[in-house]
Amino acid sequence: MSKYVSYQQAGVNIDANDEMVERIQSSLTSTYGPRVIALPGGFAGLFRLDYDEKLFKKNYKNPVLVACTDGVGSKVQLAAKARKFDTVGIDLVAMSVNDMLVLGAEPLFFLDYVALHTLEPALVAELVKGIAAGCRMADCALLGGETAEMPDTYRKGDFDLAGFAVGVVERDKTIAGTHVRPGDVILGLRSSGLHSNGYALARRICFKQARLKMTDVLDELDGTTIGEALLTPTRIYVQPIVKLLTKYRVKRVVHAMAHITGGGLVGNVPRVLPKDCNAVIRKSSWPRPKIFPFLQKTGPVEEAEMFRVFNMGIGYVLIVAADFADSIARSLQRWGEKVNRIGTVTAGSGKVVLKN
């Protein structure tokens, strides 16, 4: 037996890391556009803010960089249980790019961090495949990332994700909610399901109380498995919203936006309301994905708690000038979104009022 101790004996496999890097390279480059400057070495990523190449032109007058970071919470535990890793990569991108979109920012590039007990090149390749898919949906480049093999920190089979996005907005085009006023219309863009929030409660209901398995097919969910319903990826709203802001860049009729994450409508919409305005939202004005009534009934969970924890079928909110609400909704529908007029702004004290 050798008297020397190796890194692999300590739990870190350098050869597996090299294999992983080779597997993920095509996923990264699939997100590159003309603004990415490719250099050998990989110590850092380079991205041009201004560029002027043939049909691709982008020049800023007073650019402000916007940064976001987020994870996907305990949804990764379900991905590990199902051995399905690509969809949580989309979730990871969505959580950051949808956040920065609220300010009117265009996502530029994304970085990821993957931590796990044992480096499995195939697993990481699937994660990065999903992250790259999310970046393509958000029109941003996946410039790089970090993979940390930590056998002393994570249990075998466990992993975690974090994402970091950088975007840009013209300073005078930043959307901060300062123009919201009584009479504005609240539009809701439908979610694909739970997105990436409320999973501690959802897992408790499904697997501790109802004792379901990920592969159980439920009539209440139109014959899909509970695993498929819970792992449905978060919707990325970047492309239609960027188109909308470009279309109305002069009229400035989008007064505020909110990404509906942890805290639901009641926790996120007030973040963009002036202190003298309320958002009156009609709960019956949109259809809810079937996962929500299933969780509410199976729990059971009080309706107020459901609205405090989950997005309840609305993943993104716009507060817009009333005269333009219909045309904005039509544009978003034409670009692939399901849109509902879910409420109005009234005089108030900076809170959400839910009505039937």
CATH code for position 260: 3.90.650.10
Q: Does residue 54 sit within a domain?
A: yes
Cite the beta strand spans of 197-253 per DSSP E. 217-218, 224-225
Q: Do 257 and 286 fall within a single domain?
A: yes
Domains held by the chain: number: 2
Whether a cis peptide bond, with omega within 30° of 0, leads into 300 is yes
Give the pairing of strands 277-282 and 352-355. Answer: parallel
Q: Which of 143, 173, 203 is the last residue of a domain?
A: 173
Q: Do 33 and 113 fall within a single domain?
A: yes
Q: Do 55 and 121 fall within a single domain?
A: yes
4, amino acid identity: Y
Q: Which domain holds residue 296?
A: 185-355
Q: Do 127 and 201 fall within a single domain?
A: no
Cite the beta strand spans of the chain per DSSP E. 36-37, 46-47, 51-53, 56-58, 63-70, 106-116, 141-149, 159-170, 185-190, 217-218, 224-225, 254-259, 277-282, 314-320, 339-347, 352-355
Q: Do 160 and 96 fall within a single domain?
A: yes
pLDDT in tens, the chain (356 residues): 567 877 787 777 777 877 888 888 889 899 999 899 988 777 899 999 987 766 667 789 999 999 999 999 999 999 999 999 999 999 999 999 999 999 999 999 999 999 999 999 899 999 999 999 999 999 999 999 999 999 989 999 899 999 999 999 999 999 999 999 999 999 999 999 999 999 999 999 999 999 999 999 999 999 999 999 999 999 999 999 999 999 998 899 999 999 999 999 999 999 999 999 999 999 999 999 999 999 999 999 999 999 999 999 999 999 999 999 999 999 999 999 999 999 999 999 999 999 99
Q: Do 262 and 347 fall within a single domain?
A: yes
Q: Which of 173, 203, 234 is the last residue of a domain?
A: 173
